[in-house]
Amino acid sequence: MQAPRMRVAVWGNSRAGINFARRLELAGHTIERLGDPAQLDRFDALILAATARELEGAVGDVEKHVRPRQIVIHTSLLAGVEALDELETQGCVTIAAAPMGDSYAVSSPDEVAETVISLLLSEIHQTAETVTEAQRAERAARLFYAEMLAALTAWASIKAEIIEDFMGSSFDLDADDIIDAYPAAVELGMARNYRDVARMVGEQEKIEELELWAVRKEAPWQNNS
């Protein structure tokens, strides 16, 4: 028996959030980009498509319009479910679920939220993985580095006419989160490679913020750590 289909609103523009929404849409849920948070009463669930640095503002945008038992999910690997505490106190079912390749890093405050995200992930053929607060920055740096390399590899394969396109692949390349994970890349001893790859990805993917950040970090007069 198929689980009930939901109307899911999307607030924000992060690639991780948008890609998650697209997967849910393919699973049969109705997805709609939210133009006004005041319209939230029409929806069963809300995806906050925001980077870690955008989350506080996104929560502020919607907190007056959510209702008890409404599902709210954010998708930034750099933030846990605690970023949604203001919405949990209003009775929302709050969840952090960030893509990590073939799994999602999940944190939730209770069994109800844990059950909800487990069901949603099973519908999109993904599994849940627990990532502690202390592990998030390091996991994010490693993941973003790998995703950037994958994007460059796909681009190079197209140029070499090995493949014709990305064959349905998408990359969760959110400039803010990539930049904010950089201190962990420094600690891992991969700072220079991380910057180099970020610059090339920013140039190729036309992510100007990422390209300019990497160029500034590479400049000899900057403190590159």
pLDDT one-digit tens code per residue, 172-222: 789 999 999 999 999 999 999 999 999 999 998 889 999 999 999 876 545
- Alpha-carbon gap, residue 113 to 194, rounded angstroms: 35
Q: What is the pLDDT of residue 177?
A: 96
Q: Which of 94, 79, 67, 64 is nearest to 16 (CA)?
A: 79
Q: Which of 137, 141, 104, 134 is nearest to 119 (CA)?
A: 104
Q: What is the pLDDT of residue 157?
A: 81
Q: What is the pLDDT of residue 80?
A: 95
Across 58-62, 76-80, 130-134, least confident range: 130-134
Q: How far is CA 107 from CA 51, 100, 149, 200, 208, in A?
A: 16, 13, 27, 32, 32
Residue 34 pLDDT > 80: yes
pLDDT one-digit tens code per residue, 106-132: 999 999 999 999 999 999 999 999 888
Residue 166 pLDDT > 70: no
Q: What is the pLDDT of residue 93?
A: 98
pLDDT one-digit tens code per residue, 80-93: 999 999 999 999 99
Phi-psi region for residue 34, left (φ > 0), alpha (ψ -120 to 50) or beta?
beta
- Alpha-carbon gap, residue 172 to 174, rounded angstroms: 6
pLDDT over 70 for what percent of the chain? Answer: 92
